[in-house]
Structure 1
Amino acid sequence: GRGKGPKDLNFTTFKEKEQGKRKNTLLLLVVVKCFSFFLVLFPFSLNVVKFKSFGPFPLPWKSPIMGYETESIYKSLRSTLDELGYHQALSFDSLYLVKALVADLIQTTQSLKHYKELSQKTLSKCNELEVGLQPYKEDNARLVQECNRLHKKLIAQKDNHEDAQKELKFKLRQSESEKESLEFNTGELTARLADVEKECLKKNQRIHELQNVILKRHPHRNLTSSKSTWGGKGDSAVTFESKLKASTSLDSTVHLLKQADSNTKALRGEVKELQQRLDNKEYVIDNLQTKLNTRNTEITRLTSLLEGGRPVAAVIQDHTGDTVTHPTCIQSQMFCTCNDKPAAAQAQGCRFTCLEQRNSQLEKKLKECLRRQHDAMQHALRLSDKNKMLEVRLKSVEQSKDSEKASKDMTELQNKISSLTKLIEDLRKENQNQQNQGRYTKTSLTTSKSERESVQLREKVEDYKILEKDLMSEIDRLERENTLQKTYITELEYKLLQCLNSKEDLERAVKVKDALRRDSKEQEVGGGGGTVTSTTCDTEHRFEGLIKERDHYQKEYAFIVDKLTAIPLRTHTVSRELPLNNLSNLILERDEYQRQSESLQHVSDNRSDTVHCELKRRLSDQGQEISHLKHKYKLLEQEYADMSSLKTKYKFLEEEYRREKAGFTSSRQEPFTRDEETDMSARRRGGSPNIGTGVDLDTYLNLQEERDRLYASNVKLQEEKAELLSRLKRVQIDACSMNEDRIRSLESERCHLISKQTELNSRLGELEEENRGLKRKLYVHENELSEERNSLNSIRRVQEQTDQALLSFRKTHDNLESQIRELKDQNCRLDAEKDSLVTQVESLREDNARMRSCMMSLDGQKDSILMTLDSKIDLISRLERDMCSKDSKIEQLEDRIAKFKTTVDETLNLNKRTERELKLANSEVERLKVELNN
């Protein structure tokens, strides 16, 4: 026990050894007494047998066989027996046996005295040790009390530590739930941002459509400015068309996936809330269970201890060890009777009886204390059983509470979902408000850049997928256009050759045109020169614009490649298959919810490294290919536009050439008509006179002079025109060489595109297979979602059942609280009784100490009394032996008397027979006398 120290254990072992020694001495005394008694009786039995065999009244001293040695041995042995108090008769046959027995008896008595002295010494030492152990016992009690107090403090500290730890865990769970709710809100906001960006794209598409309409209405405007504006925004008409098609085709699927994501997220939030509540209840139950366990351990520990820290068994052992009588007393009680005791022995017996009565009273009190202790233990066990029942009921009621709260939360969440759907519909209608909110959220959600980039990359990947399909169709279309362009280029070359052949005709036409325009003003001549120079300037400007557009598209391609490479790997994986991976991630989180986060991160990193690298490489390759194809397609469009512009210019020049040719022929036939003269005079003078109305020679000469001037000016203009034509020819030759180079590059690119088309077709097949696998996974996930919904319905039913159990539990809880109060009152009463018992035990201890002191004095008296009793016992044994010898003699005499009686009876019978015979004889004598007398 906890109350026993090492000193108590040593003391108990020493006591046990002393008790064993006492028992051994008692056994030795009993054996010796029985043996001596047997020795005393044995010779008398032998003598009796001899007396019966030898005849009546044989005496031992009348034996004829008796020497000198035997007589001396007999005399010494007889004297020793008389000294010892054995006065019985002694035969010669048993002489040596009695001698040996007497020697053994003397030796045993000496050993008995020796052992008595040893026992007295050991008892004195034991008493001294008990007196010295008393302060150690008090120290042990004090130390046990301190240990109990420290144990209580330690238990309280443990409880406080566990409470603080559990509170921190609870706060951590709350923060995690808040974090998840915030992540859910950020996901919703990112989805809104994606919708806003799509609407912005639609509006940009609308703006570009309006720009195209404006350009169609004004075809002769500067094309480079419009192209530069489109290039500045970084999107062409084809990309916007593809994006619009993608948005229209994926609206339905994205909407469905968003609904599924929102449903799964809502269910996940509900499950996590329910899990948090269950964890809270389990935390409360665990806390109560630990408190109950600590209370039970304290009850068991305190019941195993008595006042002063001593265990019950040790106290009982102490009392029983003190009240056990001395073994000599037991021996005296065995061999003595009340009638033969003297007065001193009777007084000593009265004292012993008083002590035994006092000891019995103390034992009764101890038994009552133990009985009360046993009752308290039974009561504590009953309380523990009741507590267990209450815990079971508490668990059931808490489950019912949780189910009821979960059903309420489900209804609230459903209402929230319906309200959120309405809000989403309203927000879709308000586009401008969403744009403002999008700007605000872009500025506020700086932390969610990675998510936004992932959304953008997802959209880009979807756009790239759609662009692949569009590019494949465009490649086919470009091949067709390429063939047409080749035929068109051949036609243009043929026409250019015709133009070179008809150079002389053009020079002539120019000369005629100059001759005709001599009559026009100098301003118009300057204007005509400006138009010719403007054509060359326009071509140069167009080439410069094309070069600028090429540089711009190259820069845009480099920017897109840098942006794609700058994005981390996870965004690529998420953007690739985001809507389907959301469902798979939810299911994985449901299955692997209780695993450790570190192992999951390690495994996911090891798995995703290779996958991320492959996906990054694929995305970069696809992005490069798509951007390369896009760039080539834009170059082809530019070249096609240049070719169309050249075609229009060529047609315009042909028409001008035809007009000039027709005008030149008419001017050669009628160089000076009246209409022209009137026009010339009207232009010079501002009037409209007619030549046929009386014109002088002076006027006619003046007109001729003017005609000559105009002819000279026309010659100059023709020379300038020839120079301009030579320049134009050079420009056209350079343009043709550039076009040929471009055509060759386009043919090589076409071959390259055809080779890549096969690769893209194979990749598209692989992507279609992946799409089918993902559709299968989506079907499996939908089935799992339906199963989860069924499980949620079952949870609601359980919640309804637990609600009913909650009401019953509350009633029982109130009853139990009242019972607990009553039990606390009873505990207070038991504590008061315990205090009273403590005082009683202290008084009993004091009495016990007094009794021990009395016992010490009584032990000394007892030893002296035992010595006197031993001497008296020896006398009594001698008397008993004498009585036994006398009884044997009396029996012999009685046997002899019985023999004499038999002989007397026989003689009497003979006398009677003789008397009868005498009577018969007398009667016969008288009869004979009578006969004689007759």
Structure 2
Amino acid sequence: GRGKGPKDLNFTTFKEKEQGKRKNTLLLLVVVKCFSFFLVLFPFSLNVVKFKSFGPFPLPWKSPIMGYETESIYKSLRSTLDELGYHQALSFDSLYLVKALVADLIQTTQSLKHYKELSQKTLSKCNELEVGLQPYKEDNARLVQECNRLHKKLIAQKDNHEDAQKELKFKLRQSESEKESLEFNTGELTARLADVEKECLKKNQRIHELQNVILKRHPHRNLTSSKSTWGGKGDSAVTFESKLKASTSLDSTVHLLKQADSNTKALRGEVKELQQRLDNKEYVIDNLQTKLNTRNTEITRLTSLLEGGRPVAAVIQDHTGDTVTHPTCIQSQMFCTCNDKPAAAQAQGCRFTCLEQRNSQLEKKLKECLRRQHDAMQHALRLSDKNKMLEVRLKSVEQSKDSEKASKDMTELQNKISSLTKLIEDLRKENQNQQNQGRYTSTKTKTSFTTSKSERESVQLREKVEDYKILEKDLMSEIDRLERENTLQKTYITELEYKLLQCLNSKEDLERAVKVKDALRRDAKEQGGGGGTVTSTTCDTEHRFEGLIKERDHYQKEYAFIVDKLTAIPLRTHTVSRELPLNNLSNLILERDEYQRQSESLQHVSDNRSDTVHCELKRRLSDQGQEISHLKHKYRLLEQEYADMSSLKTKYKFLEEEYRREKAGFTSSRQEPFTRDEETDMSARRRGGSPNIGTGVDLDTYLNLQEERDRLYASNVKLQEEKAELLSRLKRVQIDACSMNEDRIRSLESERCHLISKQTELNSRLGELEEENRGLKRKLYVHENELSEERNSLNSIRRVQEQTDQALLSFRKTHDNLESQIRELKDQNCRLDAEKDSLVTQVESLREDNARMRSCMMSLDGQKDSILMTLDSKIDLISRLERDMCSKDSKIEQLEDRIAKFKTTVDETLNLNKRTERELKLANSEVERLKVELNN
């Protein structure tokens, strides 16, 4: 419930005044009754005066008709009359009449005293309340305005507090997500450190094993000749270099795997960012929903303020106790019918009828405002339906991918908007001209009715101007929305093109992998004829190669799955490259994304005024994206060649290990027969015989073994030559790839410098656009000043309307003469309405999506104005009631003067009655004396 404000205090004071008026009327009734009583007594006294005798009136004590009761009544009545000062004679015939009159007189005198005291008390209270009522009247409107202003501030503070809380919650979630990501990164880094330490230990152990193998092979170097030193320094150095190169190849693969991990982390980070953006948008939607709810509650509160005042019929019912039925006597019908009222009361009733008519007009206006609000809500629902239809149409446009048609539509819309802005400016000028004409007509007529008409016309014109402003804002918002949708269509097209390129690249990679696999199988088949050991090694290499291909396919599937997830996220303009292992290329891609973001921000700031510059930027960015995709393709080719070389390296490594095993077995088998031959030769020489006696089979085996050794040595030499060729070839490929990458990096750096220079140009362009924005803000400030001036003029017109309302009663006689002028003004108004309707039909096609908040604000302003008008009307009513009370007080004073005059006349009549009674007593005494004389 609300507290007791100044409006309620005014009502209580008004009620107390009405009660005082009722008491005054009761006093008047008592005085009238007293006067009628004296008028009844006056003829009786005149009849008594006719006797003209000076003796006392004979007392009817001993009348036979009188009984005991009448005697007691007579005695009590005589005593009361003597107490009251009425010493006249009392006859038996008028006994009961005089008794009733005396009782009525005592009752009326007592009630007169009582009501006089009450009237004095009420008059003192009324004066006190009138003294204290004036400041409340003055402060009423101010307090209401301050209350509304404080309520608005409180709502704004609540909104700010909720926004701050939501921002803090969003920051807290961001910090929590960053904390989780950092903890995840630290866990991965610790795991990687443990893996690196393990790899370092394994590599150290491998180095120690290789050193032990070299030390074991070193003492056998002098056993053979210089020609057959296959395990000498040269071979060991070559094998060590090959192992080092193999380890470098493994490092490169590890580097590629790490880079793939980093790409997956980047993708996860992007997913988290997108999730955070989605959460932020949800928070914004919730905030806007809460604000809308608070706005609706504010609207309901302001509408409830309209129901704060009491109607006039309720006040009359409080005074009378019954409903008033006569239309001309709503406030004047207190205690009697309309026919019995004096002329002043009828005039007062006419005033109250005027007030009731005014109140009914205000109620009609309020109903019309509510109807307009309902129409505005229906219009908003229609606009939402149209918005959904437009969204469906835009989706169809996105599916059709007709970007050229969209650009043409945009140009057409811009042309339409420019034409509409011109039309709106023309309408504004016409509205100003019409306002000037309305002011001129209002000053020309100088009457209340014509001024009210012109004010209504001006209010209608202002409402239409506001509607046109709302239409303008609707059109601007529609333009912005269409431009955003156009940008979304373009980004969707670029995404589709990028996906097509990815599909093509994946197909080419698969084809290359199949070709490499076929080539490796052919090489394995060609080398399969060179002994059982070589075939076994090739089978092992094929199995390992197939395992590597399976792992490569598994990683490719995972990468495709991640790419599908990222592409499923909507409104993502460009994806970051996930396969480039070079940091320079990744940096260039990041710079490209930054330039794209900057171009989008410039597009939003410049308000569609630098389309050509943005088109050039987008074209260059698309060219750069194509060049980067071309570089990706080249790098994939190089990577494929590198994979082929690494597979050849692994194959050669396995062959070399197999050869070492065979060589080690051969050396062990060769040394044993050699030692046996030496022992037999030494024993034979000691005995004195030849070494070949009885040992023919041993010599044949020895010769066979030497031949096999020479054959194996020749094959070893061939393998070493092939290895040297492959190494030289690999070095050449690596040098060519590095040179190509360096050249490409230099070209990209030069392009980056060029783009940076373009960025400076764009920044300068942005500064110019900001200056233009400042100029537009200045213009907006000027227009706002003009609007405030128009509002001031509207307030002045309202003041003039109040003055004219006060002077309306004096101009009723000229009503017949002004009817013709009113008809002419109505005709003009009809013509203006017809013109306005034609203009509205032209602009209605563009009046679609933007009258929601403005309509709410307009309804609030209208309700506030209606509240203020009702308050002003109530204050005027209170002032008029105060004037009526003053007039009634003056009437009461006149009636009191009349009562005083009546009292003087009554005193005079009483004196006359006393004289007549004395004369009657004298006459009675003379009559008795004469009777006595006659009897004597």
TM-score when scaled to structure 2? 0.28
Structure 2 residue ranges without an equivalent (≥5): none
SS in 2 for 1:820: helix
Query: C-alpha displacement at 1:305, in angstroms?
Result: 3.9
Q: Residue 483 of structure 1 corresponds to which residue in structure 2? A: 487
Q: Is the 8 A contact 1:682 1:688 kept in 2?
A: yes
- Which stretch shifts more, 907-916 or 102-111? 907-916
Q: Is the 8 A contact 1:400 1:798 kept in 2?
A: no
Query: C-alpha displacement at 1:65, in angstroms?
Result: 2.4
Q: Is the 8 A contact 1:81 1:87 kept in 2?
A: yes
Could you report, residue by residue, the CA deviation over 1:839-888 in whole angstroms, capped at 9, with x for unpaired residues? 99999999999999999999999999999999999999999999999999
- Which stretch shifts more, 219-228 or 431-440? 431-440
- Which stretch shifts more, 327-336 or 351-360? 327-336
Q: Is the 8 A contact 1:246 1:466 kept in 2?
A: no
Query: C-alpha displacement at 1:160, in angstroms?
Result: 3.2
Query: C-alpha displacement at 1:555, in angstroms?
Result: 51
- Which stretch shifts more, 307-316 or 905-914? 905-914
Pair 540,418 (structure 1): closer, same or farther in 2 beyond 3 Å: farther
Alpha-carbon distance in 1 for matches of 2:680, 2:432: 67
Q: Is the 8 A contact 2:328 2:350 kept in 1?
A: no
SS in 2 for 1:319: helix
SS in 2 for 1:12: helix
Pair 582,375 (structure 1): closer, same or farther in 2 beyond 3 Å: same
SS in 1 for 2:96: helix
- Which stretch shifts more, 297-306 or 531-540? 531-540
- Which stretch shifts more, 704-713 or 844-853? 704-713
Q: Residue 838 of structure 2 corresponds to which residue in structure 1? A: 836
Q: Among residues 707, 711, 714, which one is paired with 1:712 in the alignment?
A: 714
Q: Is the 8 A contact 1:518 1:714 kept in 2?
A: no
Query: C-alpha displacement at 1:288, in angstroms?
Result: 0.9
Could you report, residue by residue, the CA deviation over 1:92-150 in whole angstroms, capped at 9, with x for unpaired residues? 89967983784255224531453155236514642552353122332243234234324
Alpha-carbon distance in 2 for matches of 1:268, 1:553: 16
Query: C-alpha displacement at 1:292, in angstroms?
Result: 1.7
- Which stretch shifts more, 456-465 or 196-205? 456-465
Q: Residue 458 of structure 2 corresponds to which residue in structure 1? A: 454
Pair 93,290 (structure 1): closer, same or farther in 2 beyond 3 Å: farther
Q: Residue 847 of structure 2 corresponds to which residue in structure 1? A: 845
Alpha-carbon distance in 2 for matches of 1:101, 1:180: 106
Could you report, residue by residue, the CA deviation over 1:125-181 in whole angstroms, capped at 9, with x for unpaired residues? 425523531223322432342343244334334433433443344344334434544
Pair 878,341 (structure 1): closer, same or farther in 2 beyond 3 Å: farther
- Which stretch shifts more, 584-593 or 79-88? 584-593
* Higher-Rg member (1/2): 1
Alpha-carbon distance in 2 for matches of 1:99, 1:599: 107
- Which stretch shifts more, 539-548 or 340-349? 539-548
Alpha-carbon distance in 2 for matches of 1:753, 1:465: 42
Pair 443,288 (structure 1): closer, same or farther in 2 beyond 3 Å: same
Alpha-carbon distance in 2 for matches of 1:883, 1:456: 39
Alpha-carbon distance in 2 for matches of 1:801, 1:239: 114
Pair 860,564 (structure 1): closer, same or farther in 2 beyond 3 Å: closer
Q: Is the 8 A contact 1:682 1:689 kept in 2?
A: yes
Pair 914,175 (structure 1): closer, same or farther in 2 beyond 3 Å: closer
Query: C-alpha displacement at 1:209, in angstroms?
Result: 1.9
Could you report, residue by residue, the CA deviation over 1:236-276 in whole angstroms, capped at 9, with x for unpaired residues? 99999999999999999999999999999999979966763
Query: C-alpha displacement at 1:19, in angstroms?
Result: 3.4
Pair 892,97 (structure 1): closer, same or farther in 2 beyond 3 Å: farther
Pair 789,388 (structure 1): closer, same or farther in 2 beyond 3 Å: same
Q: Is the 8 A contact 1:458 1:576 kept in 2?
A: no
- Which stretch shifts more, 72-81 or 224-233? 224-233
Alpha-carbon distance in 1 for matches of 2:912, 2:732: 204
- Which stretch shifts more, 373-382 or 53-62? 53-62
Query: C-alpha displacement at 1:279, in angstroms?
Result: 3.1
- Which stretch shifts more, 321-330 or 687-696? 687-696
Query: C-alpha displacement at 1:52, in angstroms?
Result: 38
Pair 317,885 (structure 1): closer, same or farther in 2 beyond 3 Å: closer
Query: C-alpha displacement at 1:479, in angstroms?
Result: 87
Query: C-alpha displacement at 1:715, in angstroms?
Result: 60
Alpha-carbon distance in 1 for matches of 2:857, 2:102: 36
Q: Is the 8 A contact 2:217 2:231 kept in 1?
A: no
Could you report, residue by residue, the CA deviation over 1:265-294 in whole angstroms, capped at 9, with x for unpaired residues? 999979966763553233112311331233
Pair 844,304 (structure 1): closer, same or farther in 2 beyond 3 Å: farther
| Identity between Structure 1 and Structure 2 (%) | 100
Q: Is the 8 A contact 1:166 1:283 kept in 2?
A: yes
Alpha-carbon distance in 2 for matches of 1:421, 1:854: 24
Q: Is the 8 A contact 1:74 1:95 kept in 2?
A: yes
Alpha-carbon distance in 2 for matches of 1:467, 1:871: 34
Pair 435,86 (structure 1): closer, same or farther in 2 beyond 3 Å: closer
Are 2:387 and 1:387 aligned? Answer: yes
Give the total of aligned pairs.
932
Q: Residue 601 of structure 1 corresponds to which residue in structure 2? A: 603
Pair 419,654 (structure 1): closer, same or farther in 2 beyond 3 Å: farther
Pair 162,578 (structure 1): closer, same or farther in 2 beyond 3 Å: same
Q: Is the 8 A contact 2:684 2:691 kept in 1?
A: yes
Q: Among residues 660, 663, 688, which one is paired with 1:661 in the alignment?
A: 663
Alignment of 1:546-565 (within 5 A): none
Cα RMSD, aligned residues only: 35.2
Pair 443,605 (structure 1): closer, same or farther in 2 beyond 3 Å: farther
Alpha-carbon distance in 1 for matches of 2:890, 2:471: 144
Q: Is the 8 A contact 1:163 1:287 kept in 2?
A: yes
Pair 138,81 (structure 1): closer, same or farther in 2 beyond 3 Å: same
Q: Is the 8 A contact 2:170 2:280 kept in 1?
A: yes
Query: C-alpha displacement at 1:409, in angstroms?
Result: 32
Q: Is the 8 A contact 1:77 1:99 kept in 2?
A: yes
Q: Residue 891 of structure 2 corresponds to which residue in structure 1? A: 889
SS in 2 for 1:72: helix
Are 2:447 and 1:443 aligned? Answer: yes
Pair 183,148 (structure 1): closer, same or farther in 2 beyond 3 Å: same
Pair 750,600 (structure 1): closer, same or farther in 2 beyond 3 Å: closer
Pair 797,783 (structure 1): closer, same or farther in 2 beyond 3 Å: same
Pair 343,672 (structure 1): closer, same or farther in 2 beyond 3 Å: closer
Q: Is the 8 A contact 2:163 2:287 kept in 1?
A: yes
Alignment of 1:88-99 (within 5 A): 99=99
Q: Is the 8 A contact 1:155 1:294 kept in 2?
A: yes
Q: Residue 246 of structure 2 corresponds to which residue in structure 1? A: 246
Structure 1 residue ranges without an equivalent (≥5): none
- Which stretch shifts more, 843-852 or 114-123? 843-852
- Which stretch shifts more, 687-696 or 129-138? 687-696
Pair 289,795 (structure 1): closer, same or farther in 2 beyond 3 Å: farther
Pair 89,161 (structure 1): closer, same or farther in 2 beyond 3 Å: same
- Which stretch shifts more, 371-380 or 487-496? 487-496
Query: C-alpha displacement at 1:215, in angstroms?
Result: 5.3
Could you report, residue by residue, the CA deviation over 1:454-475 in whole angstroms, capped at 9, with x for unpaired residues? 9999999999999999999999
Pair 379,188 (structure 1): closer, same or farther in 2 beyond 3 Å: same
Alpha-carbon distance in 2 for matches of 1:710, 1:865: 114
SS in 2 for 1:4: coil
Could you report, residue by residue, the CA deviation over 1:696-719 in whole angstroms, capped at 9, with x for unpaired residues? 999999999999999999999999
Could you report, residue by residue, the CA deviation over 1:470-509 in whole angstroms, capped at 9, with x for unpaired residues? 9999999999999999999999999999999999999999
TM-score when scaled to structure 1? 0.28
- Which stretch shifts more, 391-400 or 768-777? 768-777
SS in 1 for 2:235: coil
Alpha-carbon distance in 2 for matches of 1:366, 1:924: 88
Q: Is the 8 A contact 1:60 1:92 kept in 2?
A: yes
Alpha-carbon distance in 2 for matches of 1:483, 1:889: 83
Query: C-alpha displacement at 1:583, in angstroms?
Result: 35
- Which stretch shifts more, 124-133 or 27-36? 27-36
Q: Is the 8 A contact 1:141 1:308 kept in 2?
A: no
Query: C-alpha displacement at 1:628, in angstroms?
Result: 62
Could you report, residue by residue, the CA deviation over 1:549-603 in whole angstroms, capped at 9, with x for unpaired residues? 9999999999999999999999999999999999999999999999999999999
Query: C-alpha displacement at 1:183, in angstroms?
Result: 4.4
Pair 629,854 (structure 1): closer, same or farther in 2 beyond 3 Å: closer
Q: Is the 8 A contact 1:511 1:718 kept in 2?
A: no
- Which stretch shifts more, 506-515 or 355-364? 506-515
Query: C-alpha displacement at 1:889, in angstroms?
Result: 42
Could you report, residue by residue, the CA deviation over 1:661-712 in whole angstroms, capped at 9, with x for unpaired residues? 9999999999999999999999999999999999999999999999999999
Query: C-alpha displacement at 1:206, in angstroms?
Result: 1.8
Could you report, residue by residue, the CA deviation over 1:334-353 in whole angstroms, capped at 9, with x for unpaired residues? 98778888999989998998
- Which stretch shifts more, 130-139 or 446-455? 446-455
SS in 1 for 2:58: coil
Alpha-carbon distance in 2 for matches of 1:159, 1:96: 85
Greater relative CO (CA pairs within 8 A, separation 6+): 2
